[in-house]
Structure 1
Amino acid sequence: MTAPATSPFDDIRRLITTMPGPDEAAVAAVRERDAQLTKPAGSLGRLEWLSEWLAAWQGKPRPSVDRPLVCVFAGSHGVAERGVSAYPSAVNRQMLENFSAGGAAINQICASLGLGFKVFDLAVDLPTGDIAAEAAMDEKACVATMAFGMEAIAGGTDLLAIGELGIGNTTVAAAIYAALYGGEAARWVGRGSGVDDAGLARKVAAVEGALACHRGHLEDPLEILRRLGGREIAAMAGAILAARLQRIPVILDGYVSTAAAAILHAIHPATIDHCIAGHLSAEGAHQEVLERLGKIPLLALGMRLGEGSGAALAMGIVKTAATVHRDMATFSQAGVSERLP
């Protein structure tokens, strides 16, 4: 009897079924200590929740952020040739060189907050297929890129922020959201790198063309990823999965990195429980996407840069939450009277 044919995506689906859940004992320990700290209960708001979130996914009753890492994945998109960006695809390589020279915004953010920074070149000189006319990747290439993203965090970290670089990738992200959630293409398309009205119309047309080209093949989230996505989005999805398996909490950046999380959420919502939204991007329908994912952003600064910039800024807040919880004195240590009964 012939064995049933297997798909490279089957390995990803099996992996998702093995992921660990939150460590409830660690969360309970954080809450117990928090009740003893020199402050009114709940007075630090979401900082208190962040300590619980770190504990749940690090599996540590005393969570810490000692090795924070920002990973940026860079890809190139065939759809960029349709004039969907205010910048040419040559910027991908030029910005990689700028990262290496320490000249980008993300370099300054990481330096000021004491964050590790890595950038990964996902063949930026070789664009993926134009999604309005063909699949971005075949299944094997998509899975291999996800595997690359999984390996990218192998050096060790206790808090991961993911970001991206890729001219045309807000168009790609919009196509993913339209495929996942439906509605008119224009609902999901924003101005990205700052396109004018004509450029915005080209973006909408490209997303409409992509949905029409791949109609009938968009029921499976992983098929959406490989047909409409890009290498950086596939790699970020892999990094999110690897982080979960290694008990590393994840901070998502903006519109494009959230697309990687949305793919995983569509497979199974609990897949991204270890992720938080670093910020609310000014791009596209990011607010609606975050609401669908059940994520409340930490920051809303009107940013739409990418590069992991919003996630890195949020990482500073998460580091602070961990430090406050760890180092703040208890009522007994400080000799401060506790709340009256």
Structure 2
Amino acid sequence: MNNQHALKQQLQWAIDNKTKPPGSLGQLEEIALQAGLIQQSLKPAVNNPHIVVFAGDHGIAKTGLVNPFPQEVTAQMVLNFLRGGAAINVFCKQNNINLTVVDAGVNIPGWDDALASDHFVRASIGHGTANYLETAAMSESSAAAAIEAGRSIVAQLALQGCNTIGFGEMGIGNTSSAALIMSAITGIAVEDCVGRGTGVNDQQLQTKIATLQKAFQLHELNKYSTQPITLLSRIGGYEIAMMTGAYLAAAEHHMIIVVDGFIATAALLLAQQIEPSVRDYCIFAHTSNEQAHKAMLDALHAKPLLQLGMRLGEGTGAALAIPLIRAAVAFLEEMASFDTAGVSNATEPSDSTKA
């Protein structure tokens, strides 16, 4: 604890002694400090950054009650990721970020071998979850296995030198699982946690709310606010469970974790239930335009970097925020101090002028 306090003091001194008025780089100064504390270094760096997109299907999506797009879109979008045609591909390429796509549990029996790629991880726990209006979405053992798979994927990236990571997702119906997770953990009413997801109209939104209220009551989710594996098993998705494990492994490896939008933040709520300290490793990329994301961020006392009205998922917000983190660690490393630049610093008032 004393070492951590000493490191924080040294980092703050280094930040304050750069050739600028104190605090004038605003939130970038906070990021530089946090990055140094995460990496336990006076010279934090962004090395081999990755976005990992976890994809999984949800049984509830087959009913059409919570989603305007058919379930098949999940698999179609995974193929789009692998072919380089999605927004996350564009932003990762633009910002020199590596992209890994994970089949966590897509409802497709197999993938064409021609799609084999170093950037595609087949870690499927099952071909989509069950419909949680009828039964539990998955077994508790499957939820635990998905968490462990997420841990393993991030541990492998750590071995490859990745120290900065963001998580995205793809799964038709997964805003519904995220809303139920949020409601169960935060105690906020279901109707205040439900948004439009992939773009439901007003009538569809009311049907979605009523459907999720029914699911909440059916599984008595209020009982599981501090039981993340049970909560996942009742109404979760394989991709959300893998993200939960991914957060845990990233924290264990002292990575800078860049938190994306609504569903990625719901997975963080679960991870924090398992290991509260995971929150210390997180930098929040943006406030999603999904209705309840701001309330979720408030529950985490988060201060997101961007407000762009986005609600796409895929890790796109995280990919856009990583350049800001690069800028923060760069000024700490490269910007001159008052001493090295020969620039006069602000002086303390003399005794005669002090109040």
Name the TM-score, length of structure 2 as normaliser: 0.86
Contact 2:262–2:290 (8 Å) recurs in 1: yes
In structure 1, runs of 5+ residues without a counterpart are 1-19
Matched, 1:190 2:195: yes
Task: Please state whether the residue corresponding to 2:157 is helix, strand or coil.
Answer: coil
**Residue 223 of structure 1: aligned partner:** 230
Percent of residue pairs bearing the same amino acid type:
39
Say if 1:44 and 1:54 are closer, same or farther in 2 by CA, change over 3 A: same
**Residue 16 of structure 1: aligned partner:** none
Contact 1:265–1:293 (8 Å) recurs in 2: no
**Candidates 104, 115, 126, aligned match of 1:122:** 104
Contact 1:23–1:55 (8 Å) recurs in 2: no
Contact 2:169–2:313 (8 Å) recurs in 1: yes
1:1-341 equivalences in 2 (<5 Å) = 23-83=4-64, 84-125=66-107, 126-153=127-154, 154-156=156-158, 157-215=162-220, 217-219=223-225, 220-267=227-274, 269-341=276-348
Contact 2:128–2:238 (8 Å) recurs in 1: no
1:195-241 Cα offsets, whole Å, 9 max, x none, are 11232122112211211221175242331122111111111110110
Matched residues in 2 for 1:189 and 1:78: separation? 18
Task: Please state whether the residue corresponding to 1:178 is helix, strand or coil.
Answer: helix
How many positions carry a matched residue from both structures?
Answer: 322
Matched residues in 2 for 1:86 and 1:22: separation? 53
Contact 2:19–2:335 (8 Å) recurs in 1: yes
1:221-268 Cα offsets, whole Å, 9 max, x none, are 331122111111111110110011111121111110101111233455
Contact 1:22–1:56 (8 Å) recurs in 2: no
Contact 1:162–1:251 (8 Å) recurs in 2: yes
Where in structure 1 do 4 or more consecutive aligned residues deviate above 3 Å? Answer: 20-26, 266-271
Contact 1:24–1:56 (8 Å) recurs in 2: no
Name the TM-score, length of structure 1 as normaliser: 0.90
In structure 2, runs of 5+ residues without a counterpart are 108-126, 349-355
Task: Please state whether the residue corresponding to 1:152 is helix, strand or coil.
Answer: helix
Contact 1:79–1:206 (8 Å) recurs in 2: no
Matched residues in 2 for 1:30 and 1:180: separation? 35
Q: State the Cα distance separating 1:22 from its structure 2 match.
A: 9.5
Contact 2:284–2:303 (8 Å) recurs in 1: yes
Which is worse superposed, 223-232 or 303-312? Answer: 223-232
Matched residues in 2 for 1:282 and 1:155: separation? 30
Q: State the Cα distance separating 1:291 from its structure 2 match.
A: 0.6
Matched residues in 2 for 1:22 and 1:211: separation? 45
Contact 1:25–1:61 (8 Å) recurs in 2: no
Matched residues in 2 for 1:239 and 1:97: separation? 22
Task: Please state whether the residue corresponding to 1:73 is helix, strand or coil.
Answer: strand
> Which residue identity is paired with 2:89?
N
Contact 1:134–1:213 (8 Å) recurs in 2: no
RMSD over aligned Cα atoms? 1.8
**Residue 110 of structure 2: aligned partner:** none
Which is worse superposed, 241-250 or 181-190? Answer: 181-190
Contact 2:130–2:138 (8 Å) recurs in 1: yes
1:1-51 Cα offsets, whole Å, 9 max, x none, are xxxxxxxxxxxxxxxxxxx99944433332121122111111111101101
Task: Please state whether the residue corresponding to 1:122 is helix, strand or coil.
Answer: strand
Q: State the Cα distance separating 1:81 from its structure 2 match.
A: 1.6
Matched residues in 2 for 1:146 and 1:21: separation? 33
1:141-194 Cα offsets, whole Å, 9 max, x none, are 111101111111212211111111110000111111122233432111110000
